[in-house]
Structure formats: C-alpha cells, structure tokens
Amino acid sequence: MQQEVSLQASFLSGESVDSVYFGGGTPSLLDADDLLRLMDTVVTHFDIRGDAEITLEANPDDLDQAKVTALKGTPINRFSIGIQSFFEEDLRWMNRAHNALEAHEAIQRVQDSGYRNITADLIYGFPLLTDRKWDENIDRLLAFDVPHISAYGITVEPRTALAAFIRKGKQSPMDEEQSATQFVRLIERLSAAGYEQYEISNFAKPGYHARHNSSYWKGVPYLGIGPSAHSFDGSNRQWNVRNNAVYIQSIGRGMIPYELEVLTDRDRLNEYIMTSLRTVWGLDLAYVARRFGDRAAATLKSGLQPFVADEEVSLLGGVATLTTKGKLLADRIASELFFEA
C-alpha cells in the first residue's frame, strides 16, 4: 500500500487533501506503528491540510486500552465505531466479533482518552430488533453524546448465509414495514436531540458532518489505496483488483492493477441525481442547467412534479429534497428520474 501511494502521487493533481479514511475491511487490526508508516507515506506524497479529518474505522473488540493509548501517538482524530447494537443476542445474530459490553466500553474508552469526534453505526429492521430495543439503542448513543450517528436498514445480499437461511425457511424474510417504522422513529428521535439528517443514513450535531462521506455525495475526487479500493478523478471511476496476491505482485512490478470506467455525461447526471437526493443539500436544478444543459434541467423539473404532488419531494427555490415520506422511497424516486441511454 505504501508503494501504491507513491505510484498514485499525481492522481489528485496536487490538490490539498482534507480527509484521510482508514476503512473498508478492518483497519483497526493494524497497530499504531503500521498506521504511522502509512500516514508518513501519504504525507510525503500528498498535501494534507493541517486540519484534515483523519478517521479510523474500528471494531469495538479492537479498541482495548492499550490500543487506544497507542493511537494517541498517531494523527487519527476521528473514530468510526461499528456498534450495530448494544444487545448480545442481536450481535450474535449478526455474527459480530464483539459483545454488548465491548460495544459500550469502546465508546467510553475512546471518549475518556480525549477524542470527541466519534461516529457510531447502528443497524435496524431485522427480526430480533423490537421497537423497544431500537429505542434503547438510540438512548445509549444519546447518553454518550456521540456527535455523529450512522444507521442502516439491514439488507439481504445475494450469496450470503442470511440469504440462504431465508431461502431455506430457516430465517423469516426481513419486514419492510418494521424497517420503515424504525427509520422514521430514528429521524424523530435524533431530530429532537439536535442532530441534522444531512444524508439519509447519517445524522450529525452542528460542526460534525463527516467530511469524507460528504465528499462522496458532492462528487469530490478521491483516491482509494489497497485491494478492491475505488477511486474517482472527477470524470472516471476506477477500482483495484480484489485478489490480494495479484495486487501485491502487480504493485511489486510498479503497476497498479485496476479497471477503469469512463463516465459519460449521462452517467454523471444520473449519479448526481442519486447522490444529491440523499442529502440535505438536495438536487439543484440550476447546477444541472449549468453542468448538463437547460433541457436536462427542464426534463428533471417536469419529472419531479408527481413526487412533489405526492409530498415525497419538496421543491423550493429550484432545489429538490426528499420529505420523510420520500426518504423511505429514495432509490425508487431516483431511478424514475434517471436519464436513459
């Protein structure tokens, strides 16, 4: 990965970097010295802003006292902790490595070490999670005063154990009504507690929007390092090979093993529709007109009208945002607005 950083030194065209994210997989398995070596290489080849957000994605069971103490000697200034639930039976059902006590202690330990900028993940919409337990999970994070919370409805991915159990009747299918109810409850609870839902799955106290995530939604170029990592240069998307051995062999030969997708204007417009509608900043018809032309903006404005009439979209000042009702249907609304080939 250090070698790939040096090979990719020109990717961001000399622009300053305000977010570095150790994530995708389990980077908290790395010790502090490994993280320092990687950061030293990044700083050598890229212009990292002095106030950059530097996040470590971490499993609770990795954040023991020795690890957190060692991390104080690194540039890490933000933690993303995969809590998922504070209930033992839920964590076993999700096949998580940590237990309920570790979930609690991980947040407490990081806060006691002086870190304020923390985000924690929760999952909702699965059979074991009653509405009472969901409220208790939210209560726990509010009691910790974690300034950023991400929450995701559980999805059944094909070719997973969960998909197989459902297919064989060993597990009930996920209940969409339960998921919707818990999602709306989450919005209500966090809004009342002073969090802004700045993206469908992400809630933040003032000043704690995730810079890294926001860059994705705003179409800012980013560079991914490592096997399976994705990158975007503003026009094209690329991703590294998933195979570790092939990755290592290729980097050793001074070659980055990646595939490239050249994005058309239609691709970029459809991506903008998908990502912008998920955010509090919304879909800006004036931007569409400037970037993609007046005809595209007029077509979109017309296409939005049925959703406005159904109170799923709010259209104010030429900016379309989803209502709470619309957030339950975000993917369908976006797909119906997409421009076909």
Strands, E, within 43-116: which ranges? 48-58, 78-84
What average pLDDT does range 215-221 have in this prediction?
89
Q: Which residues contact 263 (CB under 8 A, 6 or more apart)?
A: 235, 236, 237, 271
Q: What percent of the chain has pLDDT over 70?
A: 94
Span 315-327, mean pLDDT? 97
The boundaries of every CATH 1.10.10.920 domain in the chain are 269-337
Residue 122 has pLDDT above 60, yes or no: yes
C-alpha 3/C-alpha 237 separation (Å) is: 21
Q: What are the residue ranges of CATH 3.30.750.200 in the chain?
A: 2-210
Check whether domain 2-210 has CATH 3.90.76.10, yes or no: no
What is the C-alpha to C-alpha distance for residues 19 and 211, in angstroms, rounded to an integer?
A: 6
Rounded-to-integer distance, Cα 178 and Cα 187, Å: 14
155-173 per-position pLDDT tens digit: 766 766 665 666 666 666 6
What pLDDT does 300 receive? 98
Instruction: Please report the pLDDT score of residue 172 as a whole number.
Output: 67
pLDDT at 114: 97
* Tokens at 273, concatenated: 């529709």
What pLDDT, on a 0 to 100 scale, did the predictor assign at position 325?
96
Structure tokens at 168: 């064989």
Mean pLDDT, the chain, integer: 94
Question: What is the residue type of 128?
Answer: L
**Residue 2: predicted pLDDT:** 97
Tell me the mean pLDDT in the region 137-157.
Answer: 92
pLDDT at 315 over 90: yes
CATH architecture of 269-337: Orthogonal Bundle (1.10)
Sheet strands side by side (includes 202-204)? 17-22, 48-58, 78-84, 118-124, 148-153, 202-204, 196-199
From the CB of residue 15, how many other CB atoms can be counted at a distance below 10 Å?
A: 11
272-308 pLDDT, tens digit per residue, is: 999 999 999 999 999 999 999 999 999 999 999 999 9
